[in-house]
Amino acid sequence: MTTMPIVAAEPALHVDAHAAEGHGAHEDEHDRPGINRMGLWVFMASESCLFIAMAAARFYLAGTTKGDVNLPLGIVLTLILLTSSWLGYQATGAIKLGNRRKAITALLIASLLGVIFIAGVGVEWSTAAFGKDLVPPVSPQATPFGTAFFAMTGLHVFHLITGLVGLLLIANLLRKGQFGPGDHWGVTAIVRYWTFVDVMWLAVVFPVLYLL
Amino acid sequence: MTAAAAGLRPAPRPSVISGFVPILRGLLFAVIGFGIGAVIAMGIRLATGAQAWNPNETSAVGTIPSTEQIVTLGFIFAVPAWLMGVGFWGTTVRQWLGYKTNSVPTDWRRYLTTSEDHKVIGLQYLSTFVVVLLVAGVGAMLMRIQLSQPANQFLSPDVYNRIMSFHGIAMVSVAVAAVMGSFGNYFVPIMIGARDMAYPRLNALSFWLVPVVIVSLFLSELLGGWDSGWTAYPPLSVRNAAGQIMFNLAIIVFGLSSIFGGINFIVTVIKMRAPGMTWGRVPIFVWSVFAAAFLATFFTQFFAASLTMVLLDRVVGTNFFIGQGGAPLLYEHTFWFYSHPAVYIFVLPGFGMALEVLAHMSRKPLFAYRWAVAAFIGIVGMSGIVWAHHMFVSGMPSALLGPFLVTTELISIPTGLIFLSALGTVWMGRLWLTTPMLFALGFTFNFLIGGVTGIFLADVPTDISLHDTYFVVAHFHYTIIGGEIFALFAAFYFWFPKMTGRMLSERLGKLNFWMMFIFFNTTFLPMFWAGLHGMNRRIATYQSDLANVNLFISISALLLGSSFLVFVINVLYSLFSKRAPRASANPWKARTLEWLVSSPPPVENFPSTPIVVGSPYGYGTGGRPHAVFSIAGASDEEVSA
Amino acid sequence: MRRHIAIVGLIWVVLTFAGLIAAQVVFQPAVFSDKGQTIDGTFKTLLIMSVPVFTFVIAALGYSVIAFRHRGQPDEDGAPITGRGPLPLAWFVVTSVMALGVMVYPGLTELPNVVHLDPKPDVVVNIQGQQWQWSVKYPQTGAKSNAELVLPVNEKVGFQITSIDVIHSVWIPAFRMRIDAVPGLTTYMSFTPTAMGDSKTDSGLRLQCSQLCGTSHAAMFMPVRVVSAADFQAWQTANTPHIEPGSGQQLALTASAGAAKNGFDEKALTANSTDNITINFANNDPGTVHNIAIKNGDTVVGATDFKPGPGTQVLTVAPLPPGTYTFLCQAHPTTMLGTLTVK
């Protein structure tokens, strides 16, 4: 036989008895926790590209020369962020065991450390020799390193602020009784993002500006 | 059960104005947000000892205009305010604060607010970008009227540059988002047997960032517009009128929309395929969107970085591209590192749609399916190592010329595999020359010209002569219009019945195609010649010996523009005339999953999860379906549109 | 199947033949440089190489549309040809060989010929771009022009190019050569003009800005002339500004006693833009060393030696374009300065 009948004719749908309930039955078929986790990883991978782009700009403009950075301050800031991430990790552990109060406290202290970090960056900005001409509206005399420094730390602080807002929102939700041992994705996610912001400082911003 | 059955009074019909409340509220909140940001900016200025606002400052050397600082901070506050007003306050932010959320209406008003249904979002994208395409097309008509004579004064040089710049970015935004945002959003979940995208709310966010972009581009005219093209090279883009910052801010926002969309598609395709849909049974359109999503997710950041650096130079006083140690070529490298992969974001879904239509309308398996998929993956991988072919004459170190020539020539190999697939698919088929099929065939012809002319630009010696001439303009219009937009029209004609439940007129459709195909070629083919004869790009006036060819091009362009009117008439007639024919569930007798449900599909897409048992391209194999549905009830309901 | 393939093959051969003949038509405008000839030759080669590729797809696609079309909706499927056999691999290998081939020739083989910079050009030309005009200088002789670029035929020319504001691009269509003008960088190109001509006979003999640079980008071009060596020498001589010391418009400037603190007596001077400018500086400040210099922004246009008063010094400079300049004593630059306005 040489002719092939068309197979995709009128759809023969066997309507499921559960169909009227809508999408509930289908949702369970997908791995919602896995979907959430994967999305956060892809997002963080994407954001890291932005930091890589700015690091590349730093090297293009200023090579490996370094401005007069305050290395002790930089190390202190690094330690602040590491502690803050560790506290975030404590918070996740706490809510997994149902310890709401500990989780909230850990998140609040982590946030406070974040604020201190931002203040520390502000100190670096205002005291750096390569930066004093960067305060608008003076005519710009910024050095290449100074340009890269302000851009990279500014971008990092911007991400830190978004993380801070997230930490506070989640802490508030915990206070209102949300999340528990079996349902803590919100806490895990914000802490993971907060750690990501920390890693961006640790692996990109700090080495590229302070250590080279 | 209905409200009536429950003994309640039926809900009153919502007024037309109530549908627009979210958008109006969004605009109001945006104005308030802008005000808050502006006040904060002025406060910071006062705190540093400067005047709060000096409207007479310009972006001349050595000054930082207060207007630009105020507008930038105002913008940063206006965007989240807009989002909250248009619906995210009720659906999302309230949840983040621990309050009960508001739900989105289920009637026609859901199209005007933050619906999370991927089909609604797909139609929001489609209607928005068709309008943007037409408006940008009007811009092109104005440009071609100016260029119909060598020393024409229809548009002043500054106005020409601004219209040209707007035309460029508007069309680039259409090219990036029209296919993925409309047909990707609408059909990828259905084609893989899912109920929605992985992140429906993020999907809504991706869409509602788009009006910000469009409005900002128009608002830039209040600040003097911008005249640096869509490429916006500094130092020009650091020195020109203040409208430039609206461009930069808008496109950073557009980048966010693109990145969120990319994340959504990546996770959806990986995690939400129906049982039985192995990677080898994924339709080629889905593969193409999946591949393009990687480009969008990872490369767009570089565009954002380059635009941010220009903004910082303008608004803060950094010296990325000006002043002491400033390096304009840093912008070019960063910008093109994204913008070359961007053209594959344009064209990969175009390839996917064209191949999809070719297969179903030839009633044959997609030829060399695995090779086509490998080609997509190869293009994604290689797109990141070719960017500097846009910079052969930029003054970059000459050691880079050879390597980028090599990589650019190599990327023609996976592109050629797409032609293998297209030609092998139609070969020995049973071709049904409907309007979508004609557009898919036209795509193949046009992209052949576009692709082959790319070789002349990949070759450094010839590129030195052809760069920034109309040869390049012709090349990229052949690949983008001839390629992606023709494929967009193929998809539109193919899927319109499914989305709306109505058929488009075949006669008007064929008229649309032939006018578009003929006048597209008569418009852009002569541009190769003009480029070879000394016409460079982005000029409002030109040498008098090019008068005849430009007049011919301009007339062709106006005729090409009129072919879009045929399209609009076809669409409006089908949507609003009572005599327009209705569409059955499967007018094309195609095999992919969207054709197994009604036209339009039900809200939950499928009454039950489909189980995929075969290839979507199993034509001529005598019997094996692509998918079956789980049998639970005994009733056998026939679904009709 | 075989019949179809044979017909497509035949169509392909016929179309290729026709295409190769069509490709012989001369369509490129006249070329005026050695590298331009290389570039035109490369273009021709690529065009010939692309003919069979183009005609192959046209033949296969066109034949398919005609031979396999169905009137109306098909009632049966096509043959289940999936492409899992050796054909795709063969296509991949063939196209890879073609890509590698065209990459090597005329790609990498011609590349060095075109971008090579002559280390010892006969003529050196500095080109400066600004919004929206070009200015050219010939450092070997001091000739300069804002009106036209003149080059001698059959001599090696080396260009050094920069911009003082935004990115421009130096493009001379008749030479087929192009390189961007970037602020903060000097870019280079070199070639040999091979024929004489001017922009009245060939519109390609123009120096056109080829990178969007703002409002008047389209109008930023300058005529180019290629002339004999003798005419070139004559033109250079005629276009070298001669600065006769003490010539042109005379401006008076005085420094009295205590000028180091109080500045010049005159704080502002004016001049026109058509004549040389001579400043007659009377240094009446006994025992104190002064000089007189004119600056355009940060660039020194001209300066005298340092001499103690009392005495006179004369500074003569070529005509300056309209604008605002600074005159100053370089020994006391913060106190002894004023504005020179050229109208």
Q: What is residue A24's predicted lDDT score, i.e. its pLDDT?
A: 41
Asked whether residue A63 is assigned to any structural domain, the reply reads no
Domain residue ranges in chain B: 18-96, 115-576
Separation CA B325–CA B310 (nearest Å): 15
d(CA B315, CA B307): 12
The residue of chain A nearest to residue C79, with distances taken between CA atoms, is A4
What number is the average pLDDT over the span C235-250?
A: 86
B96 touches chain A (CB under 8 A): yes
B445 touches chain A (CB under 8 A): no
pLDDT at A131: 60
CA-closest candidate to residue B388, choices B369, B402, B367: B402
pLDDT at C244: 81
Tens-digit pLDDT profile for residues B380-437 = 999 999 999 999 999 999 999 999 999 999 999 999 999 999 999 999 999 999 999 9
A61 within domain boundaries: no
What is the DSSP code string of B581-632? PBP-S-TT---SGGGGS-SSPPTTSSSS-EEE-S-TT-TTSSS--SEEE---
Q: Of A3, C72, A4, A2, which Cα lies nearest the Cα of B588?
A: C72
The reply to whether residue B629 touches residue A136, judged by beta carbons under 8 angstroms, is: no
Q: Locate tokens 């012989």: which residue?
A: C24
Interface chains of chain B (3 or more CB pairs under 8 Å):
A, C
* Contact across the interface for C75 and A4, Cβ inside 8 Å: no
Arithmetic mean of pLDDT, C49-54? 97
The dihedral through the CA atoms of B531, B534, B538, B542 has a sign that is negative
- CA dihedral (B413, B418, B420, B422) in degrees, to 10, reads -160
CA B145 to chain centre: 26
Compute the C-alpha angle B435/B438/B440, nearest 5°.
110
Question: Residues of chain B whose pLDDT is less than 70?
Answer: 1-8, 58-63, 631-641
Q: How many CB pairs under 8 A join B and C?
A: 271
Question: In chain C, what residues touch B335 (CB-CB under 8 Å)?
Answer: none
The reply to whether residue A4 touches residue C77, judged by beta carbons under 8 angstroms, is yes
Structure tokens at B331: 């912008």
Closest among B542, B555, B387, B556 to B470, alpha carbons compared: B542
- Concatenate the DSSP letters of all residues of B82-99 into one string: HHIIIIIIIIIIHHHTTP
| Helices C34-67, B412-426: crossing angle, 10 deg rounding | 20
- Are A107 and A88 in contact, with CB atoms under 8 Å apart? yes
Q: What token pair was written down for C332?
A: 């006391």
Residue C28, C-beta contacts closer than 8 angstroms, at least 6 positions apart:
B532, C40, C43
Question: What would the CATH number be for the domain defined by B115-576?
Answer: 1.20.210.10
Task: Tell me the residues of chain C between 153 and 192 that have a Cβ less than 8 Å away from chain B.
Answer: 165-167, 169, 171, 173, 176-180, 182-185, 187
Per the domain annotation, does A6 fall within a domain? no
Considering only CB atoms, B637 lies closest to which of A15, A30, A43, namely A15
Q: Tell me whether residues C54 and B448 touch, CB distance under 8 A.
A: yes
- What is d(CA B233, CA B244) in angstroms, rounded to the nearest whole number? 11
Asked if the C-beta of C244 comes within 8 angstroms of chain A's C-beta atoms, the answer is no
Test B199 with A14 for CB contact under 8 angstroms: no
Whether B317 and chain C come into contact, CB under 8 Å, resolves to no
Q: How far is B530 from chain A (nearest CA, A)?
A: 37
Residue A191 lies in a domain: yes
Give the model's pLDDT for residue B465: 97
Rounded to a whole number of angstroms, the distance from the CA of A79 to the nearest CA of chain B is 28
Answer whether A6 touches C (CB < 8 Å).
yes
Percentages (nearest 5) of helix, strand, coil residues in chain C: 30, 35, 35
Q: How far is A138 from chain C (nearest CA, A)?
A: 18
- Give, for B641, the enclosing helix (H) or strand (E): none
Distance of CA A172 to the CA centre of its chain: 19
Cross-chain Cβ contact A151/B317 below 8 Å: no
CATH at residue A206:
1.20.120.80
Instruction: Compare all CA atoms of chain C with the CA of A8 and give the residue at the minimum distance.
Output: C77
List per-residue pLDDT tens for chain A, 212 residues long: 333 433 333 333 333 333 333 344 445 568 999 999 999 999 999 999 999 999 999 999 999 988 888 999 999 999 999 999 999 999 999 999 999 999 999 999 999 999 999 999 999 888 877 665 554 433 345 788 989 999 999 999 999 999 999 999 999 999 999 999 989 999 999 999 999 999 999 999 999 999 98
Tell me the C-alpha distance between B48 and B42, whole Å.
10
Model confidence pTM above 0.95? no
The tally of domains found in chain A comes to 1
Interface subset of B 469-498, CB within 8 angstroms of C: 469
In a mutagenesis test of the A interface, which of B61, B298, B319, B595 is the best target, namely the one with the most A β-carbons within 10 Å? B319
Distance from the Cα of C164 to chain A's closest Cα (Å) equals 17
Which of B405, B429, B469 is facing C103, going by the closest CB pair? B405
- Preceding omega of A11 cis (within 30 degrees of 0): no
- pLDDT for position A162: 97
B101 touches chain A (CB under 8 A): no
State the average pLDDT over residues C29-49: 97
The answer to whether residue B621 neighbours chain C at the CB level (below 8 Å) is: yes
Min CA distance, C286 vs chain B (Å)?
39
Domain assignment of residue A34, yes or no: no
- Chain B closest-CA separation from residue C142 CA (Å): 26
The pLDDT-based confidence of C148 (bands split at 50, 70, 90) is very high
Residues 3-42, chain A, touching B (beta carbon < 8 A):
4-19, 22-23, 25-27, 29-31, 34-35, 38-39, 42
Judged by a CB distance cut-off of 8 A, whether residue A4 touches chain C is yes
How many residue contacts between A and C have a Cβ separation below 8 Å?
10
Question: Residue B324, exposed/middle/buried by CB under 10 A (0-12, 13-18, 19+)?
Answer: middle
Q: How far is B200 from chain C (nearest CA, A)?
A: 36
Contacts of C18 (CB under 8 A, 6+ apart): none
Rg of the Cα atoms in chain B: 25
Cα–Cα–Cα angle for B396, B340, B474, nearest 5°?
95
Domain containing residue A157: 71-211
Mean local confidence (pLDDT), C35-51: 97
Contact A72/B at CB under 8 A: no
Mark residue A138 as left, alpha or beta (left: phi above 0; alpha: psi -120 to 50; beta: remaining): beta
Angle between helices B401-410 and C87-102 (to 10 degrees): 160
C311 Rama sector, left if φ>0, alpha if ψ -120 to 50, beta otherwise: left
Given a contact cutoff of 8 angstroms between Cβ atoms, the answer to whether B386 and B460 are in contact is: no
Which chains are within 8 Å of C by 3+ CB pairs? Answer: A, B
Query: Is the interface score ipTM higher than 0.90?
Result: yes
Q: Is B290 on the interface with A (CB under 8 A)?
A: no
Residue B108: other Cβ atoms inside 10 A? 10
Q: How many beta-carbon pairs below 8 A join chains A and B?
A: 220
- Spacing of C-alpha B44 from chain mean position: 38
Q: Do C92 and B417 touch (CB under 8 A)?
A: yes
Distance from CA of B607 to the nearest CA of A (A): 5
